[in-house]
Amino acid sequence: MDQIRRDMLAGGGAALAGLLLPGGAAAREEPSLRETGASAGILYGLCEPATQFPGNRAYVERLAAECSLIVPSNNFMWRSVQPARESFDFTHLDLMAKFAAERDLGIVGHTLFWYVGVPKWLGALEGRRGLQEAMARYVEKTVGRYKGRMVRWDVINEQINPKDGLDGGLRRTPYLEALGPDYLKFAFAKAREVDPDVVLCYNEYGFEHRKEEERTKRDALIALLRKFRDDKVEVDCVGFQSHLSGDDEIDIEGLSAFTREVVGLGYKIAITELDVRDTNLPADPGLRDKRVARKVKDYLGCVMAEAKPITITNWGYTDDRSWYQYYDWSRRSDGAPLRPLAFDAAFRRKEQWQVIADAIRNA
Ligand code: XIL
């Protein structure tokens, strides 16, 4: 990878200009978060879909120079890798994994079981047994294929949702409805059996801010994590998605206590999908970037005072490709493009980048 970076710099003007920081010269001069993260023992990651690879190869080449791991967005979802009962499709994931290996870039498996991306053909399976067999086969094929090459697997994504009114604040998902909460243990055990050495994560969102519903979610999550320990479920790590809201304050005391408890239960933590939704932040881009950076600073300061995350991943590389650009619910009323990430559309490192660099360096 260092070779790539050297090549980029040697490439002259365009590549070098891409590293200029709007807010000052510091970030341009500093080593990449790939380097800073590697020396601090916190792998810095970026997210970019594999489905577009190798069409987006030049983009991913630049991305590879800035980070240590890539999350191929949601492309490991069950429905994507096994579109029909008898057919698996790893074409684009394999191409991206090969590219990543050549650049010594890790891959994150996001995500095995989520209420989104459930294959339609599952509905035609025979009962409980049929579903468990299908789950086992999917894990064997998918986790097995990339065994020894993954940084982490997000085995379960977003299984908590107290609003559903179920016991323990669990979300009503097809897996839960068919198999009950034991499916969680089954999923982690299967992943562990197939790749004994990989880090297995439970990944969750929506518990960072000072809001009643987020406090409720933290409580439910802690209860679940405690139960995992009691039941000897093979979970190594809790993924804090960290989709921060520009509108809401970070709950410093609540989140500190939560993080302490997670660590006390023996879990590692990972910051898995960091970004800031700036839908309602001021129009001025400079001011907006400052507010976004401040939010990330408050957040990382709070969490990292309690735990050293194994990875910090931004949910996207450059602002223009953030998922928030594509939804009505996140659109700004002034129509301006959003600026949720650490790099702007011209690949320049932003103030958020600097905040992450400082947090990693001081960890
Ligand atoms: C998002 C993707 O970025 C979008 O492209 C997709 O349309 C919807 O999902 N939590 C997660 C991620 O765990 O998988 C989601 O990714 C964002 C919220």
CA distance 123 to 126: 8
Q: Is the Cβ–Cβ distance between 62 and 105 less than 8 Å?
A: no
Q: In which residue ranges of the chain is pLDDT below 70?
A: 1-25
Alpha-carbon 63 to chain mean position? 16
Q: Counting Cβ atoms within 10 Å, is residue 293 exposed (0-12), middle (13-18) or buried (19+)? A: buried
DSSP H or E stretch at residue 107: strand 106-113
Q: Which of 46, 70, 315, 325 to mutate to test the pocket of ligand 1 (most atoms within 8 A of CB)?
A: 315
CA distance 116 to 158: 10
Report which ligand 1 atom has the smallest distance to the Cα of 114.
Answer: 13
pLDDT at 24: 57
Among protein residues, the one with the nearest Cα to ligand 1's atom 14 is 74
Among protein residues, the one with the nearest Cα to ligand 1's atom 13 is 157
Report which ligand 1 atom has the smallest distance to the Cα of 47.
Answer: 3
Is pTM beyond 0.85? Reply is yes
Q: Is the Cβ–Cβ distance between 205 and 197 less than 8 Å?
A: no
DSSP H or E stretch at residue 154: strand 150-157
State the amino acid at position 5 in one-letter form: R
Q: How many CB atoms lie within 10 A of CB 203?
A: 23
Among protein residues, the one with the nearest Cα to ligand 1's atom 12 is 74
Report which ligand 1 atom has the smallest distance to the Cα of 243.
Answer: 18
321 C-alpha to center of ligand 1: Å?
Answer: 12
pLDDT tens profile 74-115: 999 999 999 999 999 999 999 999 999 999 999 999 999 999
6 C-alpha to center of ligand 1: Å?
Answer: 33
73 C-alpha to center of ligand 1: Å?
Answer: 7
Q: Is the Cβ–Cβ distance between 63 and 343 less than 8 Å?
A: no
59 C-alpha to center of ligand 1: Å?
Answer: 20
Nearest 5°: phi and psi at 132?
A: -60, -40
pLDDT tens profile 14-36: 333 344 455 556 787 899 999 99
| Helical segments of the chain, H only | 2-10, 13-17, 26-29, 33-40, 57-66, 78-81, 91-102, 127-145, 174-179, 182-194, 212-230, 252-264, 285-304, 351-361
CB contact set of 223 (below 8 Å; sequence gap of 6+): 168, 169
Among protein residues, the one with the nearest Cα to ligand 1's atom 4 is 323
Which residues line ligand 1 at a C-beta cut-off of 6 Å? 73-74, 157, 205, 241, 273, 323
Report which ligand 1 atom has the smallest distance to the Cα of 327.
Answer: 7
Among protein residues, the one with the nearest Cα to ligand 1's atom 15 is 74
